[in-house]
Structure 1
Amino acid sequence: MKRLLLRLREYTRRFWFIPTVMTVVSLLLAHQGISLEERWGVPDWLEFVYGGGEAGARSVLMAVAGSAIGVAGTVFSITIAALSFAAGTMGPRLLDNFTRDRGNQVTLGVFIATFAFSLYSLRVVRGVDEQPFVPHYNVTAALLLALASTAALVYFIFHVTSTINITHVINLLRDDLAVSLDRLTWKEPRTRHQPPPLAFWANAEEIQAPFGGYLQLVDVSAVVQWATEHQVSVRLLVRPGDYIFPNTVIACAVPTLPPDLLRFLAVGRYRTTDQDAEYAVRQLADVAVRALSPGVNDPVTAIDILDRFGDALCRLQGRTWPDGVHYGDDAQLRLVHPVTDFAGLTDGMFHMIRQYGKGSPAVMLRLLEVITAAAGCLHGAVELSELTRHADLAYHDALANTANPADRADLQERYRRFHVVVAR
């Protein structure tokens, strides 16, 4: 079921979905308006309905249809060119955000629906040489759609200028990371289980991947139920976010491997953030690395992203990390699978920024400050150990690449504050 929902959501988020639905609805409404007028006509008391003749109706509908599709084509072409240029510094996530944005999809849908509605209505306008007919309802609706298109254009220009803003993009990525971490970790404490020794899987039957792609989702509850029904124990060797190579072993089971395990795994061409928190981290780190490149040289953006990483880490206070070990209703081991842990999360957050920003004292000072803030919120031994490792790496790399005595003194002071917080 989760696999089906994932595929359904992917299709509904595509750029063409909302415009297609709106276009189909507009055609149905146009047909309904024509049928209504052919059957009942236009009552005299509906004074707001268009009251002109065939020539005027034809001119209005042609003007609305031509302007709607012309403005849509021009505006979206210019916008995509501007976004392509901005994506050079912000990464491809900007273009992905543009195509998945509901506001942009609805705006395009309004223009195309207006064009389709007017064009469909135009086909039934007949003059005196034929059986005369003017779709008064539809001409009135086309005028209203033209006003809606004008409002949509104003909204679109404002919305796109906000979308190109780097802070807006960073905040969207921060929200994705927060949602991903909420799904990955548990708010309440839970009993942790140790996975069985490798000898437990010595005689396991293996399954190979029939094709390649990124593992996007594992329906854990369905796999546990399936394994319980077949009385087997399953071990997955890949986790969401891993690239699966064709013909490589991705799972095994004891005592036997029943068929249809692959139907609980979703594999696609792209990584998603549903069960892959490290991908959400990588997207933010990618923006920071681009900002630190010599061609861009924007340490402020990297500092903003470090602030979002600190926000994400502090949100983890009191949350429990999964162990990847699951038992069925019969209290028997049913599934073991690799999971993202705190070490992998912080490695994704800090490694690349430290490697590319070690020559920027401002970035490294902020990196140490963020790690210190996280250490003040997280008190587990594993978390503090990992934060200490990253603080040590950041301090020594920064010190080796900083010549100014005042900057070196600031680094030493931030490093000292971190150890004071850890020692509490």
Structure 2
Amino acid sequence: MRARIDSLIDAISGAFWALPAALVVALAALGAFTVHLQQVGALPDWLPSGWVYGGGETGARGLLGAIASSTIGVAGTIFSITIAALTLASSQMGPRLLRNFVRDRGNQFTLGVLLGTFVYALVVLRSVRSGEDEFVPSLGVTVGLGLSAVCVATLIYFVHHVASRINVETVIDLVHDDIEDALHRLVERARSNGQSDDFDRSRAAEILAPSSGYLQQLDTAALAEWAAEHRTRIRLLYRIGDHVMPGAVVALAAPPVDGLDETLRRATVFSRTAAGQSDPTFALRQLVEVALRALSPGINDPLTAVAVLDRLGACLASLAGRPLPNGVVLHEGWPALVTRALTYDELVEAMFRMIRQSAGGAPAVLVRLVEILAAVAEVERDEGRLESLRRQVDAALEEGRRGLTHMGDLADLEAAVRNFLAAASHPEHHPDRPLLARAAG
């Protein structure tokens, strides 16, 4: 149940309509409240008399009608600009980044304020009456004029916000921050326990997938609690973000216990699209896609790919000396659940493999990739992790030898490889080498 609740919360928080709908409801309620205050004679006495609208019902209708018509017109323009920005982002930086633009609170707030002001004006306008029972909602008109000023300020903010958000450097920085947050959560989970993974597969029973698609949510706490109560251990073969085929074996249980199929069904949520916030590699794939788009023949923008490599290297260097989780989940001291953990080698492959494969004819990108890995090697002391970096450098050198035709470009790549080997072989002997933060600058 918790997995489904988390999935619903994630869907609502990422929906474009949620914040605008909330603002529309709030401003509609504000309009009804201002009218009610005046009808019961409870106008605030601290307002200066010159600030409250003092005209007749004709003027009130005109002002409220002008506010309503102008705000709905501007809201339509805002919607058109947003669609144009989404189209640009999709073609230049990849469709997976559309999620970031849709979730952007600035765009949602702007549309919500404009639509909310439109609804506010209609709510107040319907209370204007003429004749013997004439009623002019002076306070409502005054607040409406204030909201129209807020709409003008919001429109100015929106133009600046969209212009900055479609800048590729801004997009790269925002996705980089998401990757840093995801890696920080991984490291925090690694610190929670040091239990080793000693799952016995020889006497384990196979559990088939309750559904197919991308694993979006996983309630590890509920699974661990259930396994501890039944004195069994569960090993999950997929992690959040993986695609599960129909009928695939998703888990092993040792010893076998009845009821695990139903428990696993309640603890998992599958979707047709890849996961978002819960997937530690989702933001990583977004950033890699920006680099791949930049290296495509239609765009041919190696500087953007280099900027992506700088951020990826910074993320990798931030993990130096910090452990990654081994996937063991404890419940009251019992190692009840073993999830498929993200290894350092898989992380390096996800960061650099596809970029390296697409950069065979881009010497600046290949050289920068090796320089970034050398900078990471200077701050990383774990030999297993250094070996992962060496494999990437070897593959980059092989790509360069196949794709680079100019001997000077190949010489630059080979020189960068030699610098990497020096840093990776004796990292403690190079205290004067620039760290990644300075190299990336």
Same topology, TM > 0.5? yes
1:234 is aligned to 234
Q: Match of 1:367, SS?
A: helix
Q: Which moved more, 1:152-161 or 1:85-94?
A: 85-94
In the superposition, relative to structure 1, how do residues 52 and 25 fare at CA in structure 2: closer, same or farther (>3 Å)? same
In the superposition, relative to structure 1, how do residues 257 and 166 fare at CA in structure 2: closer, same or farther (>3 Å)? farther
Tell me, in whole angstroms, the C-alpha distance in 2 between the residues paired with 1:189 and 1:114. 48
Q: Where do 1:330-341 residues align within 5 Å?
A: 331=334, 333-341=335-343
Aligned pairs, how many? Answer: 419
Among 262, 267, 276, the residue aligned to 1:264: 267
Tell me, in whole angstroms, the C-alpha distance in 2 between the residues paired with 1:272 and 1:172. 18
TM-score by length of 1: 0.93
TM-score by length of 2: 0.90
Report the CA distance between 1:2 and its aligned residue: 5.8
- 1:55 to 2:58 alignment: yes
RMSD: 2.0
- 1:29 to 2:30 alignment: yes
Tell me, in whole angstroms, the C-alpha distance in 2 between the residues paired with 1:330 and 1:350. 38
Segments of structure 2 that go 5 or more residues without pairing to the other structure are 427-441
Report the CA distance between 1:269 and its aligned residue: 3.2
1:12 is aligned to 13
Tell me, in whole angstroms, the C-alpha distance in 2 between the residues paired with 1:194 and 1:113. 54
For 1:37, the aligned partner's letter is: Q
1:79 is aligned to 82
1:174 is aligned to 176
Tell me, in whole angstroms, the C-alpha distance in 1 between the residues paired with 2:361 and 2:73. 50
- Offset from partner CA, 1:258-280 (integer Å, 9 cap, x none): 23222222323333344422222
1:92 is aligned to 95
2:433 is aligned to none
- Asked if the contact 2:97/2:286 (under 8 Å) is kept, the reply is no
- Asked if the contact 1:224/1:327 (under 8 Å) is kept, the reply is yes
For 2:414, the aligned partner's letter is: Q
Report the CA distance between 1:197 and its aligned residue: 4.0
- Offset from partner CA, 1:324-374 (integer Å, 9 cap, x none): 23344354x421221111111111111111111111110000010011111
Q: Match of 1:171, SS?
A: helix
Report the CA distance between 1:116 and its aligned residue: 0.2
Tell me, in whole angstroms, the C-alpha distance in 1 between the residues paired with 2:195 and 2:346. 19
Q: Where do 1:130-209 residues align within 5 Å?
A: 131-186=133-188, 188=191, 191=194, 193-201=196-204, 204=205, 206-209=207-210
Tell me, in whole angstroms, the C-alpha distance in 1 between the residues paired with 2:187 and 2:85. 38
Q: Where do 1:21-420 residues align within 5 Å?
A: 21-40=22-41, 46-128=49-131, 131-186=133-188, 188=191, 191=194, 193-201=196-204, 204=205, 206-209=207-210, 211-253=211-253, 254-258=255-259, 259-329=262-332, 331=334, 333-420=335-422
Tell me, in whole angstroms, the C-alpha distance in 2 between the residues paired with 1:178 and 1:261. 30
For 1:147, the aligned partner's letter is: A
Tell me, in whole angstroms, the C-alpha distance in 1 between the residues paired with 2:361 and 2:321. 35
Report the CA distance between 1:403 and its aligned residue: 2.2
Report the CA distance between 1:218 and its aligned residue: 2.3
- Asked if the contact 2:373/2:393 (under 8 Å) is kept, the reply is yes
Segments of structure 1 that go 5 or more residues without pairing to the other structure are none
In the superposition, relative to structure 1, how do residues 22 and 353 fare at CA in structure 2: closer, same or farther (>3 Å)? same
2:434 is aligned to none
In the superposition, relative to structure 1, how do residues 100 and 405 fare at CA in structure 2: closer, same or farther (>3 Å)? same
Tell me, in whole angstroms, the C-alpha distance in 2 between the residues paired with 1:246 and 1:56. 66
For 2:50, the aligned partner's letter is: E
- Asked if the contact 1:239/1:338 (under 8 Å) is kept, the reply is yes
Q: Match of 1:198, SS?
A: coil
In the superposition, relative to structure 1, how do residues 327 and 348 fare at CA in structure 2: closer, same or farther (>3 Å)? same
- Asked if the contact 1:189/1:319 (under 8 Å) is kept, the reply is no
- Offset from partner CA, 1:132-176 (integer Å, 9 cap, x none): 111111111111110000000000000000010001111111111
Identity level (%): 40
For 1:413, the aligned partner's letter is: A
